Amino acid sequence: MKRFANLLKKEIKELLTKQLVISLAFTVILFNFIGQVSKKEVRKAIGIQTISVLDEDGSAGSKDLLKNLASARFKILDQSGKTKDQAIETAKAGDSKLLLVIPKGFGDSLAELKPSPIETYSFMRSFSLIGARGQVVVQIVITALNEALSNNFLREKLPDMDPASLKKPIKSKDFVVVQDKMAEGSANDVAGMISQQSLLIPIVLFMIVMYSSQMVISAIAMEKQDKTLETLLTVPIKRTSIITAKMLAAGLIGLISAGVYMFAFKGMFGGIGEEAAKAGAQAGGGAALMQKLGLTFSTTGYIVLGLSIFLAILVALAMAMILGVLAEDFRSAQYMIMPLMFMVMIPYFISIFADINAVSLPVKIFILAIPFSHPFLVSQNLYLGNYGMIAAGLVYMLIVFIILVIAAARIFSTDKILTMKLRFGKKKTATV
**Positions that interact with other proteins (CB under 8 A):** 2-3, 6, 10, 13-14, 17, 226-228, 230-231, 233-238, 414-415, 418-419, 430-432
We find the least distance from the C-beta atom of residue 318 to other proteins, in angstroms, to be: 23
38: Cα separation from own chain's centroid: 16
We find the least distance from the C-beta atom of residue 402 to other proteins, in angstroms, to be: 23
Three-state SS at 54? strand
Q: Which is nearer to other proteins, 17 or 298 (CB)?
A: 17
Q: Which is nearer to other proteins, 132 or 422 (CB)?
A: 422
Helix, strand, coil percentages, rounded to 5, for the chain: 70, 5, 25
Q: Which is nearer to other proteins, 159 or 236 (CB)?
A: 236
φ, ψ for residue 426 (rounded to 5)? Answer: -125, 155
- Please name the residue ranges forming H helices in 279-414: 286-292, 299-326, 330-353, 361-369, 373-384, 387-413
We find the least distance from the C-beta atom of residue 422 to other proteins, in angstroms, to be: 17
* DSSP annotation of 237: S
CB 43 within 8 A of CB 19: no
At position 257, the amino acid (one-letter code) is S
Q: Which is nearer to other proteins, 229 or 311 (CB)?
A: 229
261: Cα separation from own chain's centroid: 13
182's CB contacts (< 8 A; 6+ apart) are 175, 176, 293
How far CA 384 is from CA of 194, 207, 279, 301, 380, in Å, comes to 12, 27, 33, 12, 6
Q: How far apart are the first and last CA of the chain?
A: 35
Q: How far apart are CA 209 and CA 68, in angstroms?
A: 53
We find the least distance from the C-beta atom of residue 336 to other proteins, in angstroms, to be: 21
CA proximity to 308, closest of 397, 208, 206, 370? 397
We find the least distance from the C-beta atom of residue 256 to other proteins, in angstroms, to be: 19
We find the least distance from the C-beta atom of residue 137 to other proteins, in angstroms, to be: 57
Q: How far apart are CA 380 and CA 360, in angstroms?
A: 18
154's CB contacts (< 8 A; 6+ apart) are 161, 163, 166, 167
Q: Which is nearer to other proteins, 108 or 226 (CB)?
A: 226
CB 94 within 8 A of CB 52: yes
Q: Which is nearer to other proteins, 17 or 80 (CB)?
A: 17
Q: How far apart are CA 311 and CA 238, in angstroms?
A: 24
We find the least distance from the C-beta atom of residue 252 to other proteins, in angstroms, to be: 18
Q: Which is nearer to other proteins, 18 or 171 (CB)?
A: 18
We find the least distance from the C-beta atom of residue 332 to other proteins, in angstroms, to be: 18
36 CB neighbour count, 10 Å cutoff: 13
Q: Which is nearer to other proteins, 240 or 334 (CB)?
A: 240
| Nearest-5° Cα angle at 282, 279 to 287 | 140
Q: Which is nearer to other proteins, 111 or 232 (CB)?
A: 232
List the beta bridge partners of residue 181: 178
Q: Which is nearer to other proteins, 84 or 416 (CB)?
A: 416
We find the least distance from the C-beta atom of residue 232 to other proteins, in angstroms, to be: 9
We find the least distance from the C-beta atom of residue 241 to other proteins, in angstroms, to be: 11
Q: Which is nearer to other proteins, 89 or 230 (CB)?
A: 230
We find the least distance from the C-beta atom of residue 226 to other proteins, in angstroms, to be: 4
